Amino acid sequence: MLELTDLAPDPCEEWRRSLRFVGWDAAASSAALASVEALLKRGHELVVGVYDYLSRVPETAEILGWERGIDPAHLEERRRFFTVWLTRTLALDTSDEFAGVLFRAGKYHAADGPRRIHTPEQYVTGSIGLVLSTFAEYLGEARLPAAVVARAMSAWSRYLAKEANGARSEK
């Protein structure tokens, strides 16, 4: 008899478990939704800013293979993926299909992609933190009411925490 053990959990099941764990419900979705327009307006700026930042930090530039300069084709590929991720995130996508996208992203961060780039956990988690802080800055600059920003940031913190966990769990 053949028995398989220690298999990775199904990405869709993990996604739903993570959503439950962080308390992603209609109220959280509604709170995040109140901030989407302000964030979407600055989406391109966020994507460009993230990769400008990553290219300037010696450790992340090295991880990306950019210690001697940015590879334009690689930068375009990464920006394209990040733009799609940001768009789906701002659309509050909780679909099983998006779970699969995040599962593949986790595998790529674990060096199981075409470029074999391993991204240590602290940089995945740190990048989510940077996105959250940028969200907070953008919402503050949009002059949304403080209560709206507070509820939105609470919701985004939960939503993005589950994504960081998903990206790390595949290593």
pLDDT at 167 over 60: no
Provide the 8-state DSSP code for 42: T
Where is pLDDT greater, at 116 or 85? 85
Please check whether residue 170 is in contact with residue 8, taking contact to mean a CB–CB distance below 8 angstroms. Answer: yes
* Amino acid identity at 82: F
Provide the 8-state DSSP code for 108: H
pLDDT category at 114 given cuts 50, 70, 90 is: confident
pLDDT category at 2 given cuts 50, 70, 90 is: confident
- Other C-beta atoms within 10 Å of 21: how many? 12
CA separation for the pair 168, 103 (Å, rounded) = 9
Segment 66-81 shows an average pLDDT of 94
Write down the pLDDT at residue 166.
52
pLDDT at 81 over 60: yes
| 68: CB partners within 8 A, 6+ apart | none
Segment 85-91 shows an average pLDDT of 96
CA separation for the pair 51, 127 (Å, rounded) = 10
CA separation for the pair 162, 75 (Å, rounded) = 25
Lowest mean pLDDT among 8-12, 33-37, 45-49: 8-12
pTM exceeding 0.75: yes
